[in-house]
Structure 1
């Protein structure tokens, strides 16, 4: 039921905006703000544990976090990097044990793209082990600037769709894909296209280009760190501290969740 509800969110009148949490408190805040689903961010989860992103460092922390989020009233999608292993069956066993409605599974390891067939094998193994799971196959061509063309990205995406991917995620760093390129990706990829927040383009405009899901990625975590520093420096420098959710309200969220 939860998995099918999560799939249906990709078929709404506009793109699904998926906020990415790094701990229980941030996930509860997103739920209270009315978001219909919550994702995790491997960067935020790893950073909160003092680990840099990548290198499969978020494995245990992500597994623990999604287990603590299992009883949220909305679907949860987990960012599991590359599945934390090279063996498709090991990846599938790990993912099938997670209480989530979806996952992101990226086609790069140690900052380098892997052969599409290798990633497709992971997608296929996961789809077989957890057939109801929304497998969002991430194509890292633009993320790492390797084979960063629309054609290469589409070809990789189609390989993963053939292997059982329910969605395709094309993140971009250090630049923005042209709207015309986003339109081509959405047209040629036969499953929901997921992108990160695109500066200068609203959710409505992304939807008009064919995008079906927009993730915030690590942006909320990074913005939260900046906000925390701003609070401390404001107090230090004699400026008024900003307003914030009350201690009592946050405590009540946690009590309800803990119960």
Structure 2
């Protein structure tokens, strides 16, 4: 199977306590660490790449983001999905072409811009154009930002998810959804659901998220922040040495 087929297969028939865990590499070195540890696929975080390149989240120029994704894809043999935020204002055909040139086989696309929710019907039409341009070459993860920038109503999230799935999205990502509403979202959304995992011990582990309804778990820039804390500790030890 090619990489996109492998990636699709990883989303299918998963046991409830075994969601697909996708670490978020911010560069080639971190990508190699994750794959050498045994993870079967990766999902680059836009915020993690932004911080690694010296930008604020959401401020990375498209050229630099695609270049960063390409470096990650070249460094590993497993499928890579890329967080492309809101698509950088590119037409669907150009967005897809540029992403495929990086070697990635999946993408995360947000339904908000500047902290404001987009019209769901217009966004669904745009996603349908992305799907048409990509054909079967990409696994599209449609982010639903109702809990991040909307009123947090699970029913609104389910309505948006239905539009995006109908438009051709392979997976939906209700980012920021409280753990308690995951079973409701699972019952109302067709297909795979992406859930944001936490690394600070303050939330369920991936297996528990899977039992609540997650098909896959991502961490945004959390792993970069975790690595930065470890580096900070090592730097502190160096400062203590004569």
The answer to whether the superposition gives a TM-score over 0.5 is yes
- Paired residues of 1:39 and 1:76 also in contact (CA < 8 A): yes
Contact 1:89/1:122, CA 8 A, preserved across alignment? no
State the superposition RMSD in angstroms: 1.9
Structure 1 residues 33-42 or 5-14, which shifts more?
A: 5-14
C-alpha contact (below 8 Å) 1:96/1:129 kept by paired residues: no
Matched, 1:135 2:140: yes
> What residue ranges of structure 2 are gaps of 5+ in the alignment?
none
Deviation at residue 138 of structure 1 after TM alignment: 0.3
Where 2:32 maps in the other structure, the secondary structure is: helix
Cα distance, 1:122–1:93 mapped onto 2, change above 3 Å: farther
Structure number with bigger Rg: 1
How many Å separate the matches in 2 of 1:18 and 1:68? Answer: 17
Unaligned runs of 5+ in 1: 240-259
> Offset of 1:149 from its aligned partner?
0.9
| Aligned length, in residue pairs | 233
More RCO (CA 8 Å, sep 6+):
2
Aligned residue number for residue 184 of structure 1? 184
Other-structure match for 2:211: 208
- CA distance in structure 2 between the aligned counterparts of 1:59 and 1:185, rounded to whole angstroms: 32
Alpha-carbon distance between aligned partners in 2 of 1:203 and 1:49, rounded to the nearest angstrom: 29
TM-score (norm 1): 0.84
C-alpha offsets along residues 218-239 of structure 1, whole Å, 9 cap, x if unaligned?
A: 0011111222111111222459
Give the Cα–Cα distance (whole angstroms) in 2 for the partners of residues 29 and 46 of structure 1.
Answer: 19
Aligned equivalents of 1:229 and 1:58: distance in 2?
28
Counterparts of 1:26 and 1:7, CA distance in 2 = 23
